[in-house]
Structure 1
């Protein structure tokens, strides 16, 4: 450890350093203060803060739209106005210590690739690191992330000897669902046992890893389909959890034919019928579609055609 640049003590203290007791960056108020300062600068430039999602800023100019998305201290800018984006970057460089990384290729662990078909998002390197960490680079892949005949419960099997490793790996898998909706359900199931993981739970996690080895570069493709229609699809099981008999809701939404949001999560209450479980799923997808519609409307991308939703409702007699 060395003394920080431009602050080198002289004399008898020239070889000493300070011991850090508490970092200011780790205080709860730090993110709020930083975002408040950044928001003031963005509003000073002329950007409008989105009320539906406060991390999104937008501006309509004569040449087109400017969109800015901020995640902590990482910023992504896209627009139709090249001159406007140059002015915005220059303004931010004068207000903050920023570094322009050029055209987006890598953002928060997500790899961005452009082709004639569209823009693809994947986490290939992230998956390969997971395979190496778990020693599964030479393992045999499987066709599904979870065995359909396996029902995990909280009190069967021996306790796993390294709960910390289980939690870290499940946390990484949760982050991987950003571009891998195909593992969302399996990850949501194993994440329910992070408090006291057992060997069957660990085996289920390793199966997800083996499934990822089948195609590490799988991801999402976004392309123009000639419309901006919002569609939602949802379904739910009934009392699928053997531990508390709660149902699981799963849904996904599409904008312009491209998958944008998805979720797999247990419902908060026990449904007394399969119809009740399905209607709760409908409520979730309705809220999500409404949120997307309002977001698009605020960004100036009003959806003219009515949104559609598809679900299966069993008849109860």
Structure 2
């Protein structure tokens, strides 16, 4: 592609170009006509008449609607007929030129070129208003062959539990979490092949970008999390700066605000980035940071999926709404061969969500920071195959950061076996959290796992009950080793106070409401 005549500045038309005009330039390399940069008296009068007495925010909404395209074109020919998309394409090619993504060469003999494709997306704010037209030139990665075009492609991905843990720590320490977005992030990656720069769509592009970013942070005093490689930590004179990376989205916070400012400058020096400010939206989670804590919800996402009843959408909603997790997991087992009864069950879930749209997790600031865990199982909870259901939830005091609801892979012979398997599954998550918290400076030993089955506690404390457990798979017995190393403690709790019951059984309305309030699921 010849980019020598790409203009760094755009030609402003002398004739106003608003929504009703269709005389767009079809030449992407020529001077670009930007709509709305010149206004006549008539245009100004129109806007003032429409927005007389309206707020400043409403005026911006009108500006976005008038001067940005509201439709995502499916074909490049359609995009070339709209100057808003032509401008977006021009900006993308300009970034390619600035980053020296490619040079024009003859195709080597015996080689096949990887094609490209334009993708057009409208970027929206939290209200659903289009605020930017984004055109992305991507490689047709599906034409790549493993072993010829690429080898290793793995790149770390942030776990949703790790993000909740990050926010729980921020609420405990009382610092603000900020967000930044790296523009054209993947173009910074270096690929050690005949292609010298990464580009969106290539299989190895995300890995190349992560390695570029990680090396830059490590060279500037950060160290990487031992368990979570998307977490980077920098400690300075008793203060700590935490950075979580999810491709081109980065959240960060510190016990000292000056460290946040230094980090922003550090990133500005290397990458083109935009500082979004306080964290409000990340990985589908809406975050409200208050003086007395942090509130996590997904009410906007819930409103969207009400229009497209789908189990997969509901599964992601359980990232903050564990009150529906048991029902959603039960319905998910019938996705391959659903019946009318399953459709009715899904519709019932949506009716409940419509009546409770604002529920979210509350992380109070003035709460201690102790790791507590609850484990439970429902013996023969799945009536069709007679398998039991495992339930577990992990708290940092009153901050719920992780939970599980899963059908067991075995058919338990008795209740104690089902509870023992559930406790072992819960213990795995405890060990992950313990190792993760070492990066934050916390060493959680003797973590208490609350279980409402006395026999399960006896088996963990006394492995001599081999005649009762010799048929249980060996992989579940590691919980005994964790107990002997004093990594965990198993504590008896009455069933009425075991909040993990919410993830294993159905309850009446009064008991259900008590449980969701006990786990910190509130309406703010």
1:243 and 1:314, CA in 2 relative to 1: closer, same or farther beyond 3 A?
farther
Equivalent position of 2:450 in the other structure = 310
C-alpha displacement of 1:226:
4.3
Task: Provide the secondary structure at the position in 1 that maps to 2:345.
Answer: helix
Matches within 5 A, 1:247-286: 247-286=388-427
* Deviation digits for residues 278-309 of structure 1 (CA, Å, limit 9, x no counterpart): 10111011111121112112221234x73211
Task: Provide the secondary structure at the position in 2 that maps to 1:45.
Answer: coil
Structure 1 CA distance, aligned partners of 2:327 and 2:248?
31
C-alpha displacement of 1:232:
0.4
Task: Provide the secondary structure at the position in 1 that maps to 2:381.
Answer: coil
Equivalent position of 1:73 in the other structure = 248
Query: Do structure 1's residue 58 and structure 2's residue 230 form an aligned pair?
Result: no
User: Residue 301 of structure 2 is aligned with which of 123, 126, 130?
Assistant: 126
Does the CA contact (< 8 Å) of 2:292 and 2:366 recur in 1?
Answer: no
Structure 2 CA distance, aligned partners of 1:187 and 1:26?
33
Equivalent position of 1:160 in the other structure = none
* Deviation digits for residues 25-57 of structure 1 (CA, Å, limit 9, x no counterpart): 344423222222221122122111111111111
Equivalent position of 1:141 in the other structure = none
C-alpha displacement of 1:189:
1.2
Name structure 2 gaps, 5 residues minimum. Answer: 1-75, 81-85, 95-114, 118-138, 142-198, 457-467, 469-524
Does the CA contact (< 8 Å) of 1:274 and 1:314 recur in 2?
Answer: no
Q: Which has the larger radius of gyration?
A: 2
C-alpha displacement of 1:80:
1.1
Matches within 5 A, 1:77-156: 77-131=252-306, 133-134=307-308
Q: TM-score, normalization: structure 2?
A: 0.49
Structure 1 CA distance, aligned partners of 2:409 and 2:271?
43
Residue-pair matches, total: 273
Does the CA contact (< 8 Å) of 1:63 and 1:80 recur in 2?
Answer: no
Structure 1 CA distance, aligned partners of 2:252 and 2:291?
21
Matches within 5 A, 1:203-218: 203-218=344-359
1:28 and 1:265, CA in 2 relative to 1: closer, same or farther beyond 3 A?
farther
Task: Provide the secondary structure at the position in 2 that maps to 1:280.
Answer: helix
Does the CA contact (< 8 Å) of 2:116 and 2:140 recur in 1?
Answer: no
* Deviation digits for residues 179-213 of structure 1 (CA, Å, limit 9, x no counterpart): 11111111111111222222222211111111111
1:101 and 1:307, CA in 2 relative to 1: closer, same or farther beyond 3 A?
same
Structure 1 CA distance, aligned partners of 2:386 and 2:207?
39
Structure 1 CA distance, aligned partners of 2:258 and 2:267?
15
Structure 2 CA distance, aligned partners of 1:19 and 1:50?
36
Structure 1 CA distance, aligned partners of 2:436 and 2:291?
28
Equivalent position of 2:321 in the other structure = 180
User: Residue 5 of structure 1 is aligned with which of 59, 79, 90?
Assistant: 90
C-alpha displacement of 1:97:
2.4
Task: Provide the secondary structure at the position in 1 that maps to 2:336.
Answer: coil
C-alpha displacement of 1:116:
4.1
Name structure 1 gaps, 5 residues minimum. Answer: 9-17, 135-165
Does the CA contact (< 8 Å) of 1:225 and 1:257 recur in 2?
Answer: no
Equivalent position of 2:383 in the other structure = 242
Structure 2 CA distance, aligned partners of 1:109 and 1:126?
7
